[in-house]
Chain A
Amino acid sequence: MSSDAARHPMPERDAKERARSFEEVTLGYDAATALAEAQRCLQCKNPPCEKGCPVSVRIRDFIGQIVADDLAESIKLLKERNALPAVCGRVCPQESQCEAKCVRGVKSEPVAIGRLERFVADWNRARPLDERCGIEKAASNGKSVAVVGSGPAGLACAGELAQLGYAVTVFEALHAGGGVLAYGIPEFRLPKAILGDEIASLERAGVNFKYNEVVGRVTNAQQLLDSGFDAVFFGTGAGLPTFLGIEGENYNGVYSANEYLTRINLMKAYRFPVYDTPIWEGHNVVVVGGGNVAMDAARCALRMRADKVTIVYRRTIDEMPARNEEIEHAIEEGVQIKELCSPLKIEGSQGWCTGLEVQQMKLAEPDESGRRSPVTDGSKPFVIDCDTIITAVGTGANPLTPDATSGIELSKWGYVIADEDGRTSDPRIFAGGDIVTGAATVILAMGAGKKAARAIHTGLT
């Protein structure tokens, strides 16, 4: 019998206190709360939630095992479909995926699937290594695959292939693994120790990680195939930051969100000078954009001791692509949001930015697709004073892609052209994640990596 209790809130640290600390914001369910939340699951015969999951996690069954008090079985079920449950439990947009389809959600609130996933994954991580459920290491099938990029797509692909018996080598250009999970998502949302554990678990399953390998310069797809790999998978992401294309963008104090977040997350500039990488600690920070990356940048700026952090967005909060939870957390912590403001120009003095000139906008009548675009409201532009501007307005395909992929077909924007299963114009080269779709989510990239692994397996057997 399922319980009719209300959805259990996620315990989190006090907004004031956490806004100045890089420690994780959410604390996770304790065992009693997890059990009570798991008991809300209706255990549907045909669980619709699982259709909302890009990697088809067996949601009903893993939750069922929480109720049955068999967490060892629960984590096994999770890991069978998802190589990175501790990550996904934290950063997946469950509200638009599994939880959006939860039957409970029709009359009340959906089961907190993501929080339960995190609970089970964290329980597993806390166990001694020899008892921990990892990724099953399969008997070797004598074939090998090169995975380029160690972000969500690459890790999911590597995990799946290792389980199928392939010798997998992951080539990562940076000195640490995880891709956007390492350089993009801040410590307070995804502690790096968790990412480290997930990568270690892949290593135990036999996946070989090679860091500092700039594919496209030191080697390329053709050379990897020539050197004996049976297939190559590209999960290189959409790394190239887009700038606003307005005057003054190269003033000191103007960052792409990628640079700002990389300095803080990957290079640990928040621990300068213990860590050597510096960052400009602005007092008055403006972040341009409305996605999760904008929220991460704004919340990092608070933690870098800014007095004031303002998000500037062209539309309204309702149209922001960021997860509600991220927007709420940012506002609770003190981030201010200026809606309907479109950047016109960056003002500066002696090489440093001093302000962002913006135009107040209004939403036009809905067009045929129902979308209301922002148009100027005709008022006079005004300047928001600031000493730091962080632009989080999207990313493009990495310019190393043509050199790396050895002549496979690319779109005119430089993305790899691949089908649903990651097949490219070369039968031995596969791709998935943001390098195919453009910037999307961690879990969609993981789904693409997994599908490509299956396609590689089909192609090689």
Chain B
Amino acid sequence: MSYKILDKKQLSGSVFEMTIDAPEIARAAHAGQFFILRVNECGERVPFTFSDWNADDGWIRFIFMRVGKSTHLLEDIEKGDSLRDVAGPMGHPTATEVGSRWTADRSIAEGDHLVVVGGGVGTAVAYPVARAAVEAGAKVTVICGARTQELLILQDELEALDLADLIIVTDDGSAGREGLVTEPLRELCASGDVDRVFVVGPGIMMKFCSATTAEFQVPTLASLNPIMVDGTGMCGACRIQVGGQTKFGCVDGPDFDAHVVDWEELMTRQRVYAEQERLADGEYMRSCECHE
């Protein structure tokens, strides 16, 4: 089995979009789910959430930011090359259908106003979740945040959705509103018009979004991104405290009730291999002429 790269686009200096030939996975994929890839025989298993897929044409798509060796390897392979392994879909799809459960005490109701918040490359997950919610009949507002304009992704795709509103926020004000995603989120929640919230992005951003919606008691799901190995429930690397219980990100998630996630623990656990990751990426950079 070869997982050929059908397309690769550079979205900004360090952000890339990759489209992979994977018909079986494309047929089974849903919004909010992820897959695991290995670039080559020595590669680690890295999870990525789908940013898009097409069951008819048999491809899946994801967006990544270059942060360590594995994403560096991904940056350095091109259209026409193949990935060693791609497995998925994994995790539960994000709830979208009317009647299905959102959080423990809230089900999705007809005409719900859903606010989807995507921060940084998290927008790659926010997009298909917003799209699926629109398709399921919800009123959807998307808040899309990035450090600066250059790092905003999927703007055309989001524009094309039938959204109630698309709110752009940048830290430096180079596009949309200047500030943090929590600000428009707070205003929306305060208006009393928000029924549900979905957040995806860096841990710290999700933590503050969750604190914001908790104030207004708006049921909120967060798509978590803990470190994983197998992704099938076998190793427990991705365990997280949710509501005082240990849950596995891979098989119980990736979406959890944001108000009861132990955010500090999640972020601490995400940093466990920081030192090794720097070492591996440093070695790779030295060995690779193109980064001299």
Q: Which residues of A contact B (CB under 8 A)?
A: 173-175, 183, 210-214, 217-219, 239-241, 243, 249-250, 252-253, 255-256, 258-259, 262-263, 267-268, 272-280, 351, 398-400
The one of B42, B232, B240, B277 in contact with A275, judged by C-beta atoms closer than 8 angstroms, is: B42
Interface residues of B in 39-81 (CB under 8 A from A): 42-45, 69-70
- Indicate if the CB atoms of A278 and B1 lie closer than 8 Å: no
Give Cα A210–Cα B87 distance, bound, in whole angstroms.
Answer: 11
B residues less than 8 Å from A174 (CB atoms): 87, 230, 232
The CA of A210 and the CA of B86, in the complex, are separated in Å by 12
**B12 CB within 8 Å of chain A:** no
Docked-complex contact B233 and A240, CB < 8 angstroms: yes
The contact string, 1 if C-beta is below 8 Å from chain A, for chain B 13-49, is 0000000000011001000010000100011110000
In this complex, what residue of A is CB-closest to B284?
Answer: A273
Docked complex Cα distance between A385 and B1 (Å): 47
* Chain A, residue nearest B232 (CB): A173
Contact of B272 among A173, A213, A217, A252 (CB under 8 A): A252
Binary contact readout B228-267 vs A (1 if CB under 8 angstroms, 0 otherwise): 0111111111011100001010011000000000100100
* Contact residues in A for B235 (Cβ distance below 8 Å): 241, 256, 258-259, 262-263
B88 near A239: Cβ-Cβ < 8 Å: no
A217 to B30 alpha-carbon distance, docked (Å): 10
Interchain CB contact under 8 A, B42 and A256: no
Beta-carbon contact of B268 and A276 below 8 Å: no
Q: How far is the CA of A173 from the CA of B1 in the complex (A)?
A: 14
Beyond A214-B90, A250-B241, A252-B268, whether A267 also contacts B85 by CB under 8 A is no
In angstroms, how far is the closest chain A Cβ from the Cβ of B76?
Answer: 14
Residues of A within 8 A of B231 (CB): 214
Known: A214-B231, A398-B234. 6 other contacts (CB 8 A): A175-B38, A250-B269, A255-B236, A268-B42, A273-B276, A273-B283
Judge whether B186 is part of the interface by a CB distance below 8 angstroms: no
Q: Which residue of B lies closest to A238 (CB)?
A: B234
- A183-B234 in contact given A278-B280, A280-B273 (Cβ < 8 Å): yes
Q: Which residues of A contact B25 (CB under 8 A)?
A: 218
Contact A212–B239 (Cβ < 8 Å): no
Checking A211, A239, A240 against B1 with a beta-carbon cut-off of 8 angstroms, the contacting residue is A211
Quick check: B234 and A267 within 8 Å, CB to CB? no
Give the number of residues in B that approach A within 8 Å (Cβ atoms). Answer: 47
Task: Tell me whether A250 and B273 are in contact in the complex, defined as CB-CB below 8 angstroms, given that A239-B234, A258-B234 are known contacts.
Answer: no
Neighbouring B residues of A211 by C-beta, 8 Å: 1, 85, 87
* Known pairs A212-B1, A272-B276, A273-B279; A241 contacts B86 (CB<8 A): no
> Is B87's CB under 8 angstroms from A278's CB?
no
Alpha-carbon separation in the docked complex, A173 to B33 (Å)? 16
Q: What is the bound-complex CA distance between A175 and B248, given in angstroms?
A: 21
CB distance from A263 to the nearest CB of B (A): 6
Main secondary structure of the interface of B (DSSP, over half): mixed
A-B interface, 10 closest residue pairs, ranked by CB to CB distance from nearest: A278-B276, A212-B87, A351-B268, A259-B235, A239-B234, A175-B85, A276-B44, A256-B236, A277-B44, A278-B273
User: With the chains together, A274 CA to B241 CA distance in Å?
Assistant: 33
Whether B84 is near chain A, meaning CB under 8 Å from some CB there, is yes
Given A217-B90, A218-B28: A400 and B232 interface contact (C-beta under 8 Å): yes
- Flag if A267 contacts B24 (CB, 8 Å): no
**CB-based contact B85/A262 at 8 Å:** no
| With contact pairs A212-B85, A214-B232, A399-B251 given, residues A276 and B69 touching in the complex (Cβ less than 8 Å) | yes
A213 partner residues in chain B, CB cutoff 8 A: 24, 87
The CA-CA distance from A191 to B268 in the complex, in Å, is 35
Is the Cβ of A272 less than 8 Å from the Cβ of B233?
no
Whether B89 sits at the interface, judged by CB under 8 Å, is yes
**Bound: A15/B280 CA distance, A:** 32
**Whole-angstrom CA separation of A243 from B248 in the bound complex:** 12
CB distance from B81 to the nearest CB of A (A): 17
> Smallest distance from the beta carbon of A345 to chain B beta carbons, Å?
15
A278 touching B277 in the complex, CB below 8 Å, given contacts A210-B1, A211-B85, A250-B246: yes
- Contact between chains at A399 and B233 (CB < 8 Å): yes
A399 to chain B, nearest CB (A): 5
6 contacts between A and B (CB under 8 A): A175-B45, A256-B235, A258-B234, A275-B44, A276-B42, A351-B268
Residues of B within 8 A of A275 (CB): 42, 44
Within the complex, the shortest CB–CB distance from A88 to chain B, in Å, comes to 23
Q: Give A220 Cβ to nearest chain B Cβ, in Å.
A: 10
Q: Contact between A267 and B232 (Cβ–Cβ < 8 Å)?
A: no
Query: Residue on B with the closest CB to A180?
Result: B234
Chain A CB count within 10 A is highest, among B38, B42, B252, for B42
Q: Chain B's nearest CB lies how many Å from the CB of A182?
A: 11
Q: How far is the CA of A249 from the CA of B244 in the complex (A)?
A: 12
Residues of B within 8 A of A280 (CB): 272-273
- Give the CA-CA distance A209 to B216 in the complex, in Å: 52
